[in-house]
Structure 1
């Protein structure tokens, strides 16, 4: 399992879907927002949690089609399907590799980019915590979407259409948690909902992704 994780991490970086692509897109979104809504610091402070969460979500979306596509193209997915390792574990490892190369760098970069949006001091900790809890769900859901569309020509657009509605609850509760903390309100309910979504996706979706892959490999 560790060897497969290391292999996927190397492939993600070499294919251009790793650290650089997600961070660059995240930075572009954050930099362009003040040009679109104006430089007013009060307005930027209000929308900062939502913009940072939306930027992180879209940055994760960029590299979803690479999770399984490379293995499908070179035949590695067929070999993995016949390996002693269960398909559920293979899918989970690929989700973890995607999170390490995409989600984790976004979590670490969020406080720095928050300065560009005048994020209040009270929002940094909750924002990082919400991203740390919520971004694994984005990777697991994205892996499920990649399993549904693997092997399809020009499946990137279809993958986005399938995954985006599933991302909405994570986006809502993640941004709400940071917003409530900034306003001095109780952020426990959105935190619990966000954690519940992440735990639920990690517990259930690897089995669904594995089942879909078995059907596509027949």
Structure 2
């Protein structure tokens, strides 16, 4: 039975990813907004704090984490909004694959198009903020663990508000309390490393949260979508 169900899961994931990539290519300008917004936040912080390397280095982890968090939050309201408006979510519910699987694929696509480009640009942004190069691996590790967790938590919030109109502010208000612990542990791991402490505790907590979110968040988002559409 597992062999019969695997092609269906793989095929549905491939079809959804290709559809999202085509839509993303048609809206290339909108797709660049989160990355440009994060770059703007980092540049404004760097200009506001002056050119002193010690000051910039002390706040660099927090600034980079806040920029990535806000960039993901900017695109969170559109995670399921377009599918709800064109009726695709109803087709998801009728598909022969679990709704949670499709939600997980869409969440992965959201992470790949919003957080992954920022993750690749982190070395450049870290140089802009005068972050010591010894702390860069810890920052990259915290972002690699924390950004998927942010996307999974955001998917649950977006699913809860998918049936509402103009829910952008509500999405932010619901998501920010969930994002704060991720921000604290993510930026705190780099701060601990800069003080000569062991950052593995915060990274392990981020990893544990990511594993739990991978298992539970798509199911919770799927249940929220069913409630919103019924």
Bin the TM-score by the shorter chain.
Answer: over 0.9
The 8 Å contact of residues 18 and 102 in structure 1, kept in 2 or not, is answered as: no
Distance of 1:9 and 1:68 partners within structure 2? 15
Residues 18 and 196 (structure 1), Cα distance of their counterparts in 2 relative to 1, 3 Å cut: farther
Which residue among 23, 44, 48 is the counterpart of 1:11? 23
| Alignment partners' CA distance in 1, 2:164 and 2:27 | 19
Q: Is the 8 A contact 2:189 2:203 kept in 1?
A: yes
What's the TM-score, normalizing by structure 2? 0.90
**If the length of structure 1 is used for normalisation, what is the TM-score?**
0.95
State whether structure 2 residue 38 is matched by structure 1 residue 26.
yes
Q: Is this contact kept in 1: 2:163–2:229, CA < 8 A?
A: no
Cα distance per residue 1:13-64 (max 9 Å; x no partner): 5345865111101110110002222322111100000100010000001111
In 2: Cα distance, 1:189 partner to 1:17 partner: 39
* Alignment CA distance shift 1:51-1:176 (3 Å): same
Query: Across the two proteins, how many residue pairs are aligned to each other?
Result: 218
In 2 relative to 1, CA 4–12 (structure 1 residues): closer, same or farther, beyond 3 Å?
same
Structure 2 residue aligned with 1:209: 221
* 1:48-197 aligned within 5 A: 48-197=60-209
Aligned equivalent of 1:198:
210
Deviation at 1:201, TM superposition (A): 1.3
Coordinate RMSD, CA, aligned = 1.4
SS at match of 1:212: helix
Q: Deviations over 1:60-99 (max 9, x none)?
A: 0111111100001111111111011111101101110001
Q: Which has the larger radius of gyration?
A: 2
Distance of 1:202 and 1:165 partners within structure 2 = 19
Return the alpha-carbon distance in structure 2 between the equivalents of residues 105 and 74 of structure 1: 28
Q: Note the residue ranges of structure 2 that are not aligned, 5 or more in a row.
A: 1-12
In structure 1, C-alpha distance between the alignment counterparts of 2:81 and 2:27, rounded to whole Å:
11
In the TM superposition, residue 9 of structure 1 has moved relative to its aligned partner by 3.1
Q: Distance in 1 between matches of 2:15 and 2:169?
A: 31
Distance 1:181 1:13 in 2: 39
Q: Secondary structure of 1:185's match?
A: coil
